[in-house]
């Protein structure tokens, strides 16, 4: 058994099912008792007597929150695109940058050239830094392979990485991220491949992914193509996610509702009808503050979405083109300062709502009896101070499945 004691403030979403209103329960002077990989109790004051023989972690009066969940990332990639970053600052459009050899295809070329071992080696330090920021569960998408072998290679990298480090990883199949160059003049053949037994079927059979995502956008896959991919995925037991309403409004949110997606992500251009559709279908709205911020464009209307009663999750969208932001705590701060989300809404967005966006709401994202013991111990007094300190790593220690995996409290 492990007891976390001397907690100045324990802060957790109240209830995984009731995601609106965004309630954070706080307990001052608290403790958490852990047995194996589960929380067995928590409450005010020091732990009960039987904990005398427990291993103890002193929170030093800091705040303790659930381990963070990053529910939308592209963390497996190769190459670096700072040159495009500079070109965009100098005024070139994303389309111009793409014409000059930039864009997703740049990363696709780098990923295709990388071996499985190289992809694993490039991703490990990224995950180590994410863990140091308090992130204990991460969703990772394929989508830079765009061929049978390379999509499998990316998801195989995710599977290997599960064994090599403490973060719990969730694979998402995103072959429908872009039409690869060699299929430019035969789009439907690429959609065939995406939906094929040899690729989608194998991903499902081998358990390489739990979800299937599509970049539904004028420049990527239209609503008809997206529907075809997501319905095929459903047949294979892969639940739908969508990159929806990011740049243009082509009805992607409505499609998300229609196919009963678990989440609709981005939503920078969502309209009132899209919000209503998502709400009625019970789809989680995943907002990606780091992406619009990194691109210097307008954020999704978080207040409108929240005030309409939709549960909002927050992810990093970590990727080398549009969001080189691997810090989920920084995204909480961006949500607060740029989208007028409160620190409570931001914390719910990176814990229980993010867990629900990847089908883990009943196991992670809250501090409650029987939940998995994923905890972050902070060196600040209350959870609001975390969002209030942008760019500072406030993490003192991290517990994953009952095991202390980061501990800075002795340094």
Please report how close the Cβ of residue 26 comes to a copy of itself at its closest, in angstroms: 13
Structural tokens at position 282: 């019970």
Q: Is 295 in the site for a copy of itself (CB under 8 A)?
A: yes
Which parts of 367-386 interact with a copy of itself (CB under 8 A)? 381-382, 384-385
Q: Is 319 in the site for a copy of itself (CB under 8 A)?
A: no
Please give the order of strands across the beta sheet that includes 168-176: 68-70, 135-141, 168-176, 211-215, 239-244, 263-266, 284-287, 312-314
Distance between CA 129 and CA 135 in Å, rounded? 9
Q: Where are the alpha helices (DSSP H) in 208-327?
A: 223-235, 252-258, 272-281, 289-295, 302-307
**Cβ nearer to a copy of itself, comparing 22 with 42:** 22
**Cβ nearer to a copy of itself, comparing 240 with 341:** 341
User: Which stretch of DSSP H or E encloses residue 180?
Assistant: none
**Cβ nearer to a copy of itself, comparing 9 with 372:** 9
**Cβ nearer to a copy of itself, comparing 51 with 338:** 338
Q: Is 20 in the site for a copy of itself (CB under 8 A)?
A: no
Distance between CA 364 and CA 360 in Å, rounded? 6
Q: Is 135 in the site for a copy of itself (CB under 8 A)?
A: no
Which parts of 333-362 interact with a copy of itself (CB under 8 A)? 336-338, 340-343
Nearest to 377 by CA among 166, 68, 69, 170: 68
3-state secondary structure of 135: strand
Exposure on the CB side of residue 175, measured as CA atoms within 13 A: 32
Q: Is 268 in the site for a copy of itself (CB under 8 A)?
A: no
Which of 50, 129, 162, 260 lies at the binding interface for a copy of itself (CB under 8 A)?
129
Nearest to 162 by CA among 93, 112, 222, 209: 209
Classify strands 24-35 and 2-13 as parallel, antiparallel or unpaired.
antiparallel
Which of 52, 90, 163, 184 lies at the binding interface for a copy of itself (CB under 8 A)?
90
Q: Is 332 in the site for a copy of itself (CB under 8 A)?
A: no
Cβ neighbors of 304 (< 8 A, separation 6 or more) are 275
| Cβ-count burial 314-335 (b if 16+ within 10 Å, e if not) | bbbbbbbbbbbbbbbbbbbbbb
Classify strands 24-35 and 239-244 as parallel, antiparallel or unpaired.
unpaired
Interface mask toward a copy of itself for 46-85; x: CB under 8 A? ----------------------------------xxxx-x
Q: Is 326 in the site for a copy of itself (CB under 8 A)?
A: yes
What number of chain residues touch a copy of itself (CB under 8 A)?
A: 39
**Cβ nearer to a copy of itself, comparing 192 with 304:** 304
Please report how close the Cβ of residue 248 comes to a copy of itself at its closest, in angstroms: 22
Please report how close the Cβ of residue 106 comes to a copy of itself at its closest, in angstroms: 14
Please report how close the Cβ of residue 330 comes to a copy of itself at its closest, in angstroms: 4
Q: Are the C-beta atoms of residues 370 and 50 closer than 8 Å to each other? A: no
Which of 388, 401, 407, 409 lies at the binding interface for a copy of itself (CB under 8 A)?
388
Which of 324, 368, 404, 405 lies at the binding interface for a copy of itself (CB under 8 A)?
324
Which of 330, 354, 364, 371 lies at the binding interface for a copy of itself (CB under 8 A)?
330
Please report how close the Cβ of residue 288 comes to a copy of itself at its closest, in angstroms: 14
Which parts of 271-290 interact with a copy of itself (CB under 8 A)? 290
Please report how close the Cβ of residue 366 comes to a copy of itself at its closest, in angstroms: 22
Which parts of 196-215 interact with a copy of itself (CB under 8 A)? none
Please report how close the Cβ of residue 337 comes to a copy of itself at its closest, in angstroms: 5
Beta-bridge partners for 286: 265, 313
Q: Are the C-beta atoms of residues 284 and 265 closer than 8 Å to each other? A: no
Distance between CA 120 and CA 74 in Å, rounded? 13
Q: Which residue ranges make up the site for a copy of itself (CB under 8 A)?
A: 80-83, 85-86, 89-91, 129, 290, 293-296, 324-327, 329-330, 336-338, 340-343, 381-382, 384-385, 387-393
């Amino acid at each position: 058994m492990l007891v976390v004691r001397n907690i100045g403030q324990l802060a957790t979403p109240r209830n995984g099912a009731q995601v609106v209103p965004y309630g954070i329960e706080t307990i001052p002077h608290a403790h958490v008792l852990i047995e194996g990989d589960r929380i067995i109790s928590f409450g005010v004051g020091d732990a009960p007597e039987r904990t005398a023989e427990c291993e103890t972690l002193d929170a030093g009066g800091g705040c303790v929150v659930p381990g963070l969940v990053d529910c939308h990332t592209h963390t497996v990639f190769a190459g670096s695109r700072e040159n495009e970053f500079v070109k965009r600052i100098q005024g070139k459009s994303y389309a111009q940058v793409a014409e000059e050899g930039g864009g997703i295809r740049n990363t696709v070329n780098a990923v295709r050239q990388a071996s499985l071992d190289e992809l694993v080696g490039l991703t490990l330090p990224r995950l180590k830094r994410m863990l140091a920021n308090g992130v204990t569960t991460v969703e990772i998408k394929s989508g830079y392979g765009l061929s049978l072998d390379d999509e499998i290679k990316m998801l195989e990298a995710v599977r290997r990485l599960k064994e090599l480090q403490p973060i719990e990883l969730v694979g998402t199949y995103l072959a429908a991220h872009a039409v690869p160059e060699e299929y430019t003049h035969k789009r439907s053949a690429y959609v065939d491949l995406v939906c094929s037994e040899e690729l989608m079927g194998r991903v499902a059979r081998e358990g390489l992914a739990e979800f299937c995502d599509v970049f539904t956008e004028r420049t990527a896959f239209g609503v008809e193509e997206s529907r075809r991919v997501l319905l095929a995925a459903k047949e294979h037991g892969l639940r739908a996610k969508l990159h929806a309403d990011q740049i243009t409004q082509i009805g992607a949110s409505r499609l998300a509702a229609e196919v009963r997606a678990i989440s609709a992500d981005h939503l920078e251009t969502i309209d009132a009808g899209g919000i209503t559709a998502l709400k009625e279908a019970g789809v989680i709205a995943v907002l990606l503050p780091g992406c619009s911020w990194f691109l210097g464009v307008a954020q999704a209307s978080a207040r409108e979405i929240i005030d309409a009663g939709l549960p909002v999750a927050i992810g990093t969208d970590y990727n080398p083109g549009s969001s080189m932001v691997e810090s989920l705590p920084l995204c909480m701060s961006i949500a607060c300062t740029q989208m007028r989300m409160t620190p409570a809404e931001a914390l719910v967005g990176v814990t229980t709502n993010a867990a629900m966006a990847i089908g883990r709401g009943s196991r992670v994202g809250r501090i409650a009896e029987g939940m998995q013991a994923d905890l972050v111990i902070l060196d600040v007094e209350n959870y609001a101070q975390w969002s209030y300190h942008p760019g500072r790593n406030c993490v003192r220690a991290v517990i994953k499945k009952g095991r202390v995996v980061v501990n800075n409290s002795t340094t």
